Amino acid sequence: MVSVRGLTILAAILGVASVMPVSLYAESAGAPSATHKQVSLPRVLVLATGGTISGKADNRSAIGYDAGAVTGQQLIAGVPGVEKLAQLQVEQISNIASQNMNSQIWFRLAERIRQAFAKNEADAIVITHGTDTMEETAFFLDNVVGDARPVILTGAMRPSTAISADGPANMYEAVKVAVDPQARGRGVLVGTE
């Protein structure tokens, strides 16, 4: 994963970062161990835009696929264990192939991110995106969002219905980075396999 601002290698973050555990327990002094208090998970807003990560095999072709055929909610449902990292809320911004990304969708993304942070709806944002134009979207958002909270873009090289699809692992890692305290203040981050 690479930071748009300064091209910082995010792999270094993953190598040294301690990801927030599934649940943290705080035991009050002198209280019996049965009275543990559970601390809530970080809140991550997933904004889905389409791309190969949400692609589905095309029945008309042995090698083709339709980009943007799977919803963000369906993507999250296919990622085992991600619910243990964060409280997830998923919104569909668009469902297009990334070569069809345009300024209208960029402005919609930027506005939704600003709104989510201003209203304290999320601690971090993960955006699913096609890889063809992911860096352009990241560059735009890095210049207009202006918030230290993490914004992570992720995508995939193989569609969601492919054998050994990489989208679920990339999504899991994107959420893992989004909740890591060391991702804060690093600008918009991009990561794929």
Contacts of 63 (CB under 8 A, 6+ apart): none
**Choice among 52, 131, 133, 154 that is catalytic:** 52
Rounded (10°) CA dihedral 156, 97, 116, 20: -10
Contacts of 7 (CB under 8 A, 6+ apart): none
Question: Distance between CA 147 and CA 4 in Å, rounded?
Answer: 14
Question: Distance between CA 125 and CA 144 in Å, rounded?
Answer: 15
Task: Return the CA Rg of the chain.
Answer: 17
Question: Distance between CA 107 and CA 49 in Å, rounded?
Answer: 13
Where would I find the beta strands (DSSP E) of 27-115?
Answer: 37-39, 43-50, 56-57, 65-66, 87-96
* DSSP helix/strand/coil, 153: strand
Within 10 Å of residue 25's Cβ, how many Cβ atoms?
A: 10
Q: Is 52 labeled as catalytic in the residue annotation? A: yes
Q: Catalogue the active-site residues.
A: 52
